[in-house]
Structure 1
Amino acid sequence: MTDTNDADERDSNGTDRRLVAGWQGRYYEDFTVGDVYKHPYGRTVTETDNVWFTNVTMNANPMHFNEAYAAETEFGERLVDGTFVIALAVGMSVVDVSANATANLGYDEVRHHAPVFHGDTLFAESEVLDKRESDSRDHVGIVTTELRAYNQHDEKVLSLERTPMVLKREHAAPSAARPTGWPEGVGTQPEDLE
């Protein structure tokens, strides 16, 4: 995707140099009920992920950090902390669903369908369930998606509904020179290509 303000210049080798906008994320207008976004990149869950997250969140269930205890359970090994699975799946969806969100309004219908183990690789997708204009804010709309995560065996391990407020494009004004999250004037600017 290029910006109408992209700047062009020919360098000393005769190559055109341009400042080109990258992926800006979806804005409210880009969502259509029924669309499914398969989020890029799977992510393998490591023992370190699980132990650190369990300790940081003070989750004292020995299923997550005590191998001897977990070996005696029906699973025979430690399970990955379910709230880590939620955080990872939501994080994987940000690039497609909420890169331009101003707030997350809620997480509903959270279900763990299968356990996640160290070494499992998770993949996530989101389906647009609903969208509507905000009653109180003109610059955003409200989008509800179902987020689903699967392991490498195509077993669904998680599902939840997620509802962010997402900026409308006219209020975001992204550009190649100043993409989302960049302060004004940082990095290559159009005048640098003149």
Structure 2
Amino acid sequence: MTDEDAAGDRRLVAGWQGRYYEDFTVGDVYKHPFGRTVTETDNVWLTNLTMNLNPMHFNEAYAAETEFGERLVDGTFVIALAVGMSVIDISVNATANLGYDRIRHHAPVYHGDTIFAESEVLEKRESSSRDHVGIVTTELRAFNQDGTKVLSLERTPMVLKREYAQPTAEQPPGWPEGVGTLNADLDGE
């Protein structure tokens, strides 16, 4: 290691800032990072929070007598989890979600299952009413740890065009101007 390497010039480096409308290509598939194990707490909280009164989600004695033999995870939790997993690749730069269509639960999800998600770009088009966004439709698919598809849906967000977002290392998406380390802070060293 040289003295120059040891001193290390400090600089702001842009991290992942999400995809903009121009970055989407029909046919691309994004495997979203990280799986997430569904816990009993996840299921019970969402079931109670949304007042889902189906005993399949919160009554172990009842669920044990069904064809599944145990409680099932609330399907709306699976939808929310899969959509959340896709945000990093699909909608960090969305201005609105226009719709969720063709939602299908292909297999049950149980406490302890680990869910993974991927999205395929089905269609993209310019917005006819807003110059700063385009409209992207994706198919979101979720799988459990065994590779069983448990969910699919189509999702259509309006996504910012890069020229309107103008992200920088100093002010990435979601950061207010002037917060954190600025280039001026590094220049004076």
Matched, 1:47 2:47: no
Number of the residue aligned with 1:119: 112
Matched, 1:32 2:22: no
Identify the match of residue 150 of structure 1 among 143, 146, 171: 143
Identify the match of residue 78 of structure 1 among 67, 71, 90: 71
| Amino acid of the structure 2 residue aligned with 1:22 | G
**Rounded Cα–Cα distance in structure 2 between residues aligned with 1:162 and 1:154:** 22
Task: Give the gaps of 5 or more residues in structure 1.
Answer: 1-10
Matched, 1:100 2:93: yes
Deviations 1:7-57 (A, max 9, x none): xxxx9x521111001000000000000000000000000000000011111
Deviations 1:39-87 (A, max 9, x none): 0000000000000011111111100000000000000000000000000
Deviations 1:137-158 (A, max 9, x none): 0000000000000000000000
Number of the residue aligned with 1:134: 127
Matched, 1:188 2:181: yes
**Rounded Cα–Cα distance in structure 1 between residues aligned with 2:28 and 2:135:** 15
Number of residue pairs aligned between Structure 1 and Structure 2: 184
Shift of 1:89: 0.1
Identity level (%) = 83
Structure 1 residue matching 2:112: 3-state secondary structure = coil
Deviations 1:130-187 (A, max 9, x none): 0000000000000000000000000000000000000000000101011111111110
Calculate the TM-score normalised by the size of structure 1. Answer: 0.93
Number of the residue aligned with 2:165: 172
| Amino acid of the structure 1 residue aligned with 2:20 | Y
Task: Give the gaps of 5 or more residues in structure 2.
Answer: none
Q: After the TM superposition, which segments of 4 or more aligned residues of structure 1 sit over 6 Å from their partners?
A: none
Identify the match of residue 82 of structure 2 among 78, 89, 100: 89
| Amino acid of the structure 1 residue aligned with 2:147 | D
**Rounded Cα–Cα distance in structure 2 between residues aligned with 1:177 and 1:61:** 49
Calculate the TM-score normalised by the size of structure 2. Answer: 0.96
**Rounded Cα–Cα distance in structure 2 between residues aligned with 1:180 and 1:129:** 25
Structure 1 residue matching 2:155: 3-state secondary structure = strand
**Rounded Cα–Cα distance in structure 2 between residues aligned with 1:82 and 1:188:** 42
Matched, 1:110 2:103: yes
